[in-house]
Structure 1
């Protein structure tokens, strides 16, 4: 059984995307004249993002200590591109349009990189894997071909984050400077699709 966010209990999955519309989500776009429906739409249980204008949708609720599972793909015939899942989203405009958060990268070929946006974290072997705001993932060969669905699981437990892609461990972070906030999905220049966005609360 998947519960609604207002009934969330530890261990009980919560559907953040209902498969029908953007209930529970708010859009923030760089073009103030644009509307959410100009970028985001829902068809046949799939959340479609055009990628332009850039911005993001965020959950109206905030979360901490959870497992987030979602599926994403770049449409068949596309070249892939950029997007990301932002966890622990808070103040808007930390860097350009992007809010204070920790980005789990969905850029084609780089899924699982961490990008810090007004935040900080540590990864192992930082001297090799930290490049400014970017913290390289552990593997770049875990993604499926364009047009096929991928599954990402992000576990946020206190000040730690673990990310798997299609069952492979792709990144781990510790000492995260933020541990709670909304969850956001980026519109970042390329068409991308999402489905089955489910959060499972964890014991603190």
Structure 2
């Protein structure tokens, strides 16, 4: 009798274990369908970058393009944007500029020359401030150099404007990152005076000139270059 009872209990235990065994593929699918989907927030360009309070992130659509002396829209050939990165092929030589003129402001951005630019030991671009007058190559304005050897140097782009500039080449050499890596530029424009900061270190300052407002632009100067996270803050004080 004890032997028969043990056999019955063993059979019941075996059945219970079978019932609680691994789920079938159908059961897996049904279980997955019952789990509510989690809505992921849509990724935007703004969410890819750090945009500080008071700053506005610029896209390619916020610029117009000039090549030579001929006005033309952003063509999608020399200037393109993908995943928040504005790419410039370097030809034709010219520049894009903001649709709104700026006075006192702070501009922050990151840029790099692709590794392919190493074929040129000193690739070139620039950041134009207070663009005014005739649209030509190059316009009347001040420039913060993007050229690799002179990164963050400040100069005048007009023979009519003499600029008094203080520059720190030793600091530039110390903080400048190699071709292929991103360099961060900050420029503070205050009553016509410019201060440039490279990767967190002040590099150059200029005394005020007659130019105190105008458009902001990016140069196409013969070499491929990429820009990202371009932010502008207009200063009221």
Alignment TM-score > 0.5, same fold: yes
Unaligned runs of at least 5 residues, structure 2: 1-52
**Alignment TM-score, normalising by the size of structure 2:** 0.69
In structure 2, the CA distance between the partners of 1:31 and 1:50, relative to structure 1 (3 Å rule), is farther
Measured on the aligned residues, the alpha-carbon RMSD in Å equals 2.0
After the TM superposition, which residues 33-52 of structure 1 pair with which residues of structure 2 at under 5 Å, given as runs?
36-52=75-91
Partners of 1:181 and 1:55 in 2: CA distance:
17
Partners of 2:100 and 2:155 in 1: CA distance:
22
Partners of 1:49 and 1:69 in 2: CA distance:
18
Unaligned runs of at least 5 residues, structure 1: 1-10, 125-135
After the TM superposition, which residues 39-78 of structure 1 pair with which residues of structure 2 at under 5 Å, given as runs?
39-78=78-117
Q: Aligned residues, how many?
A: 177
User: CA contact under 8 A between 1:31 and 1:53: conserved in structure 2?
Assistant: no
**Secondary structure at 2:77 match in 1:** helix
Question: Counterpart in 2 of 1:129?
Answer: none
Partners of 1:38 and 1:158 in 2: CA distance:
36
Question: Counterpart in 1 of 2:131?
Answer: 89
Task: Decide which structure has greater helix share.
Answer: 2
Question: Counterpart in 1 of 2:227?
Answer: 194
User: CA contact under 8 A between 1:110 and 1:137: conserved in structure 2?
Assistant: no
Question: Counterpart in 2 of 1:110?
Answer: 150
Task: Decide which structure has greater strand share.
Answer: 1
Question: Counterpart in 2 of 1:3?
Answer: none
Q: Does residue 1:140 correspond to 2:172, yes or no?
A: yes
**Alignment TM-score, normalising by the size of structure 1:** 0.80
Structure 1 residue corresponding to 2:192, chosen from 159, 166, 180: 159
**Secondary structure at 1:180 match in 2:** coil
Partners of 2:82 and 2:219 in 1: CA distance:
18
**Secondary structure at 2:231 match in 1:** strand
